[in-house]
Amino acid sequence: MKQICDILDKSQRHVMAIVNVTDDSFYSTSRTYDSSSVAKRVEQALREGATILDIGGYSSRSGAVDISVEEEWRRVRMGLSVVRNLTFDIPISIDTFRSEVVLRAVEEFGPVIINDITAGEADDNILEVASKYNLPYVAMHMRGTPQTMQQITNYPEGVVNEVYKYFAKRCAELRERGLKDIILDVGFGFAKSLEQNYELLAGLKRMEDFGYPLLVGMSRKSMIYKALGGSPEDALAGTAALHWEALRGGATILRVHDVKEAADVIRLFSIYEKCII
């Protein structure tokens, strides 16, 4: 658990490598279908400086197809097996909103970080699992489901204010349920328009008020490639630029497809911030 607890130290910054054990994630290059492709992805991520591996078996892109718990677990279990055959020295997070997937993962492979895109709204039992096993918990802001979220982007009080108010209420509820190690993710791309994503990035520093580490997931998303008139394959430079701004806004964890580039941004930002007067 020591490596997992290190993630909660806000004086450190981390690169969370995306390991998509899926066949329909929005960035096709990131898809890993079998154990050999998962192993190749993990080995590369470790070489390039990943400090967390985020394994997901359920695509949360807009309009993604829903899958069963059994199918999601089959994918996640394969990913966990591959990683633990390669190394025991790196923390693993599970990108899931289903308590059964987390429970099976913990029982077979030991402690993990829960990365829940619904902050416990989709499956309330996931909070019981997190509390029982004292697991770090990433709570993300979203509305609706991956199938409906982009039709729910109206924020009358402004997206920054409403996300802030949501976390103020939700963090209190999570603490009441026994969760101690909370990480916040404002949910770029989840029930936000292109412009709202940039408003949220500009207001990210407000989320430091809660005192929790901030995770940012913007890697190659439509907020970048649509703004530039390209595709996910064209969005690496834009991703690096926005990662810099996220670090300025207080992010401590960058969830990424491109590990080396994110690690380089963190290294350069660390030099830069020492020179700020």
277 residues of the chain, pLDDT tens digit each: 556 667 888 889 999 999 999 775 544 454 566 888 899 999 999 999 999 999 999 877 665 677 899 999 999 999 999 999 999 899 999 999 999 999 999 999 999 999 999 999 999 999 999 999 999 999 999 987 777 888 888 999 999 999 999 999 999 999 999 999 999 999 999 999 999 999 999 999 999 999 999 999 999 999 999 999 999 999 999 999 999 999 999 999 999 999 999 999 999 999 999 998 6
CB 188 within 8 A of CB 202: no
Q: Name the catalytic one among 255, 260, 267, 274.
A: 255
Any domain includes 275: no
Structural domain contains residue 277: no
Residues 6+ apart with CB under 8 A from 190: 60, 117, 140, 141, 142, 143, 149
Which amino acid would we find at residue 41? R
pLDDT for 40 equals 92
Rounded Cα gap, residues 237 and 215, in angstroms: 20
* Domain that includes residue 118, residue range: 2-267
pLDDT of the residue at 27? 44
Q: What is the reported pLDDT for 67? A: 85
- Placement of tokens 């409906």 in the chain: 148
Residue 38 CA to its chain's centroid (Å)? 18
Question: How many beta carbons lie within 10 A of that of residue 269, not counting itself?
Answer: 17
* Residue 273 falls inside a structural domain: no
pTM of the full structure: 0.93
Q: In the annotation, is 221 catalytic? A: yes
CA dihedral 68, 70, 76, 82 (to 10 degrees): -140
Q: Residue holding tokens 């969760």?
A: 179
At residue 32, the pLDDT reads 63
The answer to the question of residue 272 being in a domain is no
pLDDT one-digit tens code per residue, 157-190: 999 999 999 999 999 999 999 999 999 999 999 9
Tell me the C-alpha distance between 161 and 183, whole Å. Answer: 19
Beta-carbon count within 10 A of 71 CB = 12
Question: In CATH, what number is assigned to the domain containing residue 114?
Answer: 3.20.20.20
In a domain, residue 242? The reply is yes
Domain assignment of residue 83, yes or no: yes
Q: Which two tokens stand for residue 99?
A: 């308590």
The tokens 């520093």 sit on which residue?
A: 205
Q: Work out how many domains the chain is built from and give that number.
A: 1
Torsion of CA 50, 106, 174, 206, to 10 degrees: 0
Q: Of these residues, 13, 77, 220, 221, which one is catalytic? A: 221
